[in-house]
A and B are shown apart, each in its own frame.
Chain A
C-alpha cells in the first residue's frame, strides 16, 4: 500500500479505455490516442480486435506508434487488407464496424461532438479547429461511438458550438433515425481524464458511471458545464497497471509522442 506510482493523464486515459475494448469486434479509429489505445488493448485484453483506419487499412499489426505519419508504411504493417476510403465507409454503412473511437474538442450532454470551431459566425470563427476529417462518418455509421478526451469545463458543455459529428442530437426519442442516420447507432462511451461516462437510455444524456482513481465525484462535476445523470453506483477505476505502463513506454510509444502529454499524476497504491 505504500508504493507511489506516476503516470500522465494521457497514459491513464489510454489504460482505462483499453480495458473496455472488446475482442473480436471491429473498430475504426482516429489517430494518436485512439490508435495507441487499440494497440494496448490488442496486446493485453483483446488480441483479436480488428482496427481499421479511414483510408482503408484493415487489421494492421502495429509495432510502435509512428508520430504524424498517418498512412505511412508503419501504420499499415501486416494488415489483412489495404482497401480505400470508399470501401471502408461503405463497410461502416452496411453495419460491419462495431466501434468508432474518436478524440474531440468539445462534447455535449447528448454526445454531439465539435471538432470544427468555437464561435457564432462560421465565416469568422473565434477559434478554428481541424474539422471533421473522418469523424462525422465514423460517428454516423458505426454502431457505437467512443470518445477519449481531456476532462475540462470548456470541453464538456451543455450544447456544442458546432455539431461536427452527430451524437443523440437534441436527445429526443428517435432523433438520429428521424434525420436518416442508421437505426441503433450512436454515442456509447466518453472516457475523460477524470471519469468514464455512458449514456442514460431514457434521456440519452451522458451518465457518470465511474471515476478515475485520483479524483472525486465532486471534482468531476465541478469541471463540467452540465450535470450528467448519475449512475446508481459510481465505481472507482483502477490506476494504470505496471504491465500497461511498461508496454506503453517501452514498446508502443517509446518516443512519448502521445503518452507524455498532460499533467503527471502521482498516486499511492
Chain B
C-alpha cells in the first residue's frame, strides 16, 4: 500500500547522483580556509574545466552570462562537454562550432540555422526537459537529495524525452513527477562583485545562482570587479555565495560583452549585430570565433583589440536603468 510505484519513466539520458558520493567529494575538495583564489581565466579553465565535464551556469548568455569563460573554454578546445542548458542564444552554437560539445540538456534553445541544422542532421545530441525541470534538478542537487517532486512535465512528450519519472505519491496515492538531481562538474557564474576569497554578489533577478553553485563540484566565478572583503562583511545581506563554495575567482570586466550586465552596462549594438549575424552560417561563425576567440589570447586583449575603450564607455552610459542594483 505504502510503496512508491513507478507509473511511467522518461527515456532521456541523465547522470545519476549518489548524494553520499557528492557529500564525500565536497568534504574532501571544498577548501574552507580564506585563501586568495584570484586566477587568470586561462588558469581557471585549464585547472577546473576538463574534457567531458558537465557544465552549468546561471541565467542566459547575453544577460549576465559567463561569456568570457565560455570564450576561454573554446580557446582551450575543451571537448565533449555536457551542457546543462536552460536558455541561451549563442552559447550552444559557439560550443558546437568550437567542437566542444557532446550533448545538451534543453530548456529552450535559440534555433539559429547552425544549431537547427546540427540537431536535424543528428550531429548534436539534445535531451529535452523544461526550464523549471532543469532548475528543480539543480535545486535537488543543491539540497543534497536524489530527486524533487514537481507537478509539471506530466502527460507530455517533454516528459518522455526527459529522464523524469511519474510515480504514485505514497502519501496521497496521486501521480506526481520526480526529476533526478543534477550535480554538475563545473558551474560558471558571472557576478557583479566578488572578493578574493570568493564571496560573491549578484544583483537583479536570476534563475537560481545559489542552487547552480551548490549543485556543482567545482565553481568558477567571473566578476565585473573584485572588491574588498571588508565591504562584503559590512553588508552580508548582499552576499549571494559564501567563499567556501568557490574554487576560482576571475576578474572579468565586461565579461558579458556583447551582452549586458544589468545595472552596469547595456548590450553593445554593434557587437550584438555582428555576433547575431554569424549564427546562421557555419563559415561566418567560424570566422567570428577566429576573430574574437582564437586570434586573441585573453578576454582583456579581445576588449582592447577588437572592441576598444570608446564602445565600452558607451555601453556603460547606455545602461539607464540602474535602480535596484548594487
Contacts and interface: CB of A to CB of B under 8 A. Distances in A.
B83 interface: no
A183 to B, nearest CB: 10
Interface string A121-146: 01111111111111111001100000
Given A73-B204, A76-B324, A78-B323, A140 B263 contact: no
A72 B63 contact: yes
A74 B262 CA distance: 9
A83 B205 contact: yes
A56 B208 CA distance: 10
Nearest to A127: B120
B122 A124 contact: yes
A173 to B, nearest CB: 14
Contact of A134 (B59, B131, B166): B131
A166 interface: yes
A122 B132 CA distance: 21
Contacts of B150: 93, 137
Q: Which of A68, A176, A182 has the most chain B CB within a 10 Å cutoff?
A: A68
Contacts of B154: 140, 166, 179-181
Given A69-B260, A130-B108, A140 B153 contact: yes
B267 interface: yes
B155 A131 contact: no
Chain A: interface size category: 35 or more
Interface stretch (B34-42, B170-178, B190-198): B170-178
A16 to B, nearest CB: 27
B19 to A, nearest CB: 19
B151 A93 contact: yes
Contact of A136 (B111, B133, B324): B133
Interface stretch (A157-165, A194-202, A226-234, A239-247): A157-165
Given A71-B63, A133-B131, A137-B130, A180 B122 contact: no
Contact of B106 (A56, A71, A131): A131
Contact of A72 (B161, B208, B262): B262
A86 B110 CA distance: 22
A69 B267 CA distance: 8
Interface string B107-149: 1111100001001111001101111110110010000000000
A54 B116 CA distance: 24
A7 interface: no
Interface residues of B, number: 63
A82 interface: yes
B321 interface: yes
A165 B131 CA distance: 12
Interface in A165-212: 165-166, 169, 175-176, 178-182
Interface string A39-68: 000000000000001111100000000001
A137 B154 CA distance: 10
Given A82-B205, A169-B155, A73 B325 contact: yes
B207 A180 contact: no
Contact of A131 (B120, B128, B263): B128
Nearest to B59: A71
A116 B324 contact: no
A163 to B, nearest CB: 4
Going nearest first, the 5 A-B pairs with the smallest beta carbon separation are A133-B108, A180-B175, A73-B321, A179-B155, A132-B130
Given A73-B266, A163-B155, 11 more contacts: A73-B319, A73-B322, A82-B205, A89-B152, A128-B120, A130-B108, A130-B111, A131-B106, A131-B109, A136-B132, A136-B152
Interface of A: 53-57, 68-74, 76-78, 82-86, 89, 93, 112, 116, 122-137, 140-141, 162-166, 169, 175-176, 178-182
